[in-house]
Structure 1
């Protein structure tokens, strides 16, 4: 964009959408107090949005979607009092959604999806009473859905999918009289469906899949005749389907992987005559079972952890003195019938038959179990000793404690666990992509593992670690980040797994511990100090990031950089292009910038001095930036030059 445009303060219409224009938006655009609308969407603009918007007196529409903007959404946008349409989707914006946006009482459309926004959805959104479309999907938003959304009575479309939202769906959403499309999929919503959802008169499409919603589908859905499309897959729902065409004609993929739905849809079991909608009539003849609500989870786990240690110590003493009298299972799967799921798992894998084993390690073996309702889960059976006691009970407790405190889309979901006299195991979501290590070591899969996917996986892991270090209170240190502990789903989204050696950094406890981790990924300072902090994970992340772009473990390369005595050493003259995975075609110009950036950040993370390593939060911010070059430096840049490169905002 010509910089002279900055001086055209009398412009009333700015529309350069759908081009290939680039430039720093904060430097090349000025103040346009008479502009009616500004459309810069679908270009390559970068930089940060200006903070002062009070001078935009007549602006009604602002579209800057599908660019490379970074930074935060300025609170000053709330001063653009006439704004009706605000579209900032598909950028790299981070931070919280400003509460000041609630001042935009004339707003009709708010689209902030596909960014890196975090924090709660502000309740002030409820002040936008004229809002027609609200899309906040594909971010890192957390907390509850504010019930004040129910005040946006003119809403037609509501999309909050692909976040980390928790708690129940507010009943106020069901009171939106004009809502036609509702998408709350891929969150962590739980509890029962509010009956009000089935009373909506205009709803046509509803997607509640990939959550933790439980119980029976309310009878109110029997009269939701406007509903055309429904997706409730991957929840914990049970009982008969409502008697309307949207459910009765739904494909099985829209209903699969629930606790016990029944009906005439192909793939579901038929409902028996004894099936009841009233959950209070369920049988009480079962093993000791505890439904763990999130609020009570921490308290319960403390009891479990103590019990595990007591049980582990007492088993050996009691096994020879008298017959074992402990015949009950301590088993919990959130919102599931404990006895039923326990028996289903044992039957599904034929009492841990090796043919169902899909992986093994020092901590335990992992099995693939397909439950009767079609849901597939991963079952990690912990190694025990000859007398039945756990070999490493502390690891079992660590994993439960850590994963109960974590809610993030790039961290594997723990469904439940079992402590039994014969075997102890953990139940996780099953990720069909397998481990990153397996993908990289297989030539056939590695050649399909394109550069853009590799960069995306690095970003996924960085975001998850930043969340554990910065957003969890107290912080959680994984201590064993490696390619074998990164699992992939069918869309190559990465999930950190195996929290057996994780450490929760409580401020009132010692951070000194014995060595844990995988050799080749563990930070070098652990050879002489046992102090645990987040910089240990940062080092492991750096090794992992190099492994992703090199296609193999970078052990020899790291050793050569550590042993280099000066910048004149031969390793600093090695070209970056000569160390990346040769099984792939050379990256395109845009891919080259991303690969170069990942390599640059990975090198900073494996800095021998832990104090000089960046934090994971800083890494995430840097991953939103760009190597400053108008030409493709990837073919010619050396490792030494890469270390000296500066990174700029995009």
Structure 2
């Protein structure tokens, strides 16, 4: 008599409770019910218990890569040989359980139907009173937050790569805000939540506090300043905000003097991109929200052809950037 050993129901848009008939399927050795809207406890038969145990063994065997407010992220190797990132949340049964559940729910809700080259791909998740975790594709170069502090890595992270990081994240945000229905607002754009793959392609991650609603441009100015200047600029936001005043120090400061000095100056088309992105970052600091560009406008402008620089980047002041907005 034939028996079912492998069951793949993924990507079928199924909804409702996980069928209790799984308890009767004693011959199953492989089950995939990912990318559906099923909910409820996993079946309690032997095969599902062993499946849970294998997942828990994966977590125990992997290496922690970062720590967060609601859990830790690990690098794990599956039995298939695939390397993944596993975010293990705080146990739902302790005092942080409510926050962990909200984090998991927000992230799954935001990422289930999202498909964009610059947004992390959610491969699956498990909700269990003791071990709630999410599984993502693994990014070889880790978080962008670590890049500025590493001189060797920073020098390999050239102007072209830095420009492409800005473009990639802006395009990802434009997709979330304007191509998703309802719009998805990330709410935590920072370098620690931007990952880099092996080709320095930027990948937006950590949707734990994301919300489904409308919003305007988010923190493009922070991303530009962090990666063009080589470190988190801190009080430099105040410096930039005063650049529109002709009597301020910032107004007469040269752009080249505040760029990352570990790299040679950007040239030609890359220099044009850097200048335009800094103009766009200044536009994000305008006091009137209505005067700031939307992320869709920023994405479109970044894809347009830039005007050639008349004298090169070495002569441009922040005052000139403000005048060109």
Whether the TM-score (by the shorter chain) exceeds 0.5 is yes
Query: Is residue 2:112 matched to residue 1:370?
Result: no
Query: 1:356-403, CA deviations, whole angstroms, 9 ceiling, x for partnerless residues?
Result: 110011122101110121101110011237737614121211111000
Structure number with higher helix proportion: 2
Instruction: Quickly say closer, same or farther: Cα 1:359–1:376, change in 2 above 3 A.
Output: same
Calculate the aligned-residue CA RMSD, in Å. 3.0
Residue 494 of structure 1 deviates from its aligned partner by: 0.8
CA distance in 1, matches of 2:322, 2:253: 12
Look up the match of 1:503: 211
Look up the match of 2:56: 346
Query: Is residue 2:301 matched to residue 1:640?
Result: no
Corresponding residue SS for 2:73 = strand
Corresponding residue SS for 2:313 = coil
Query: 1:602-628, CA deviations, whole angstroms, 9 ceiling, x for partnerless residues?
Result: 221233332211111111111123443
CA distance in 1, matches of 2:106, 2:138: 20
Look up the match of 2:164: 456
CA distance in 2, matches of 1:405, 1:612: 32
Instruction: Quickly say closer, same or farther: Cα 1:449–1:421, change in 2 above 3 A.
Output: same
Residue 409 of structure 1 deviates from its aligned partner by: 1.0
Look up the match of 1:359: 66
Query: 1:193-240, CA deviations, whole angstroms, 9 ceiling, x for partnerless residues?
Result: xxxxxxxxxxxxxxxxxxx99xxxxxxxxxxxxxxxxxxxxxxxxxxx
Asked whether the 8 Å contact 1:435–1:484 carries over to 2, the reply is yes
**1:569-588 correspondence runs (5 A):** 569-588=248-267
Instruction: Quickly say closer, same or farther: Cα 1:564–1:330, change in 2 above 3 A.
Output: farther
Give the greater-gyration-radius structure (CA): 1
Instruction: Quickly say closer, same or farther: Cα 1:554–1:462, change in 2 above 3 A.
Output: same
2:246 to 558, 562, 567: 567
Query: 1:283-313, CA deviations, whole angstroms, 9 ceiling, x for partnerless residues?
Result: 64569967145xxx3x43xxx4xx6xxxxxx
1:470 to 153, 178, 186: 178
Asked whether the 8 Å contact 1:330–1:420 carries over to 2, the reply is no
Instruction: Quickly say closer, same or farther: Cα 1:340–1:481, change in 2 above 3 A.
Output: farther
Asked whether the 8 Å contact 2:218–2:295 carries over to 1, the reply is no
Instruction: Quickly say closer, same or farther: Cα 1:383–1:418, change in 2 above 3 A.
Output: same
Query: Is residue 2:116 matched to residue 1:408?
Result: yes
CA distance in 2, matches of 1:422, 1:476: 29
CA distance in 2, matches of 1:443, 1:621: 33
Instruction: Quickly say closer, same or farther: Cα 1:585–1:389, change in 2 above 3 A.
Output: closer
Q: TM-score, normalised by structure 1?
A: 0.43
- Stretches of structure 2 that go unaligned for 5 or more consecutive residues are 1-7, 12-24
CA distance in 2, matches of 1:492, 1:630: 27
CA distance in 1, matches of 2:244, 2:305: 29
2:97 to 390, 400, 404: 390
Corresponding residue SS for 1:350 = helix
Instruction: Quickly say closer, same or farther: Cα 1:619–1:387, change in 2 above 3 A.
Output: closer
Look up the match of 2:199: 491
Number of paired residues? Answer: 303
Highest RCO, 1 vs 2 (Cα 8 Å, sep ≥ 6): 2
Corresponding residue SS for 1:454 = helix
CA distance in 1, matches of 2:165, 2:72: 25
Residue 534 of structure 1 deviates from its aligned partner by: 2.1
Asked whether the 8 Å contact 2:252–2:318 carries over to 1, the reply is yes
CA distance in 2, matches of 1:561, 1:388: 42
Asked whether the 8 Å contact 1:574–1:639 carries over to 2, the reply is yes
Query: Is residue 2:228 matched to residue 1:549?
Result: yes
Look up the match of 2:87: 380
**1:565-644 correspondence runs (5 A):** 566-629=245-308, 631-644=310-323
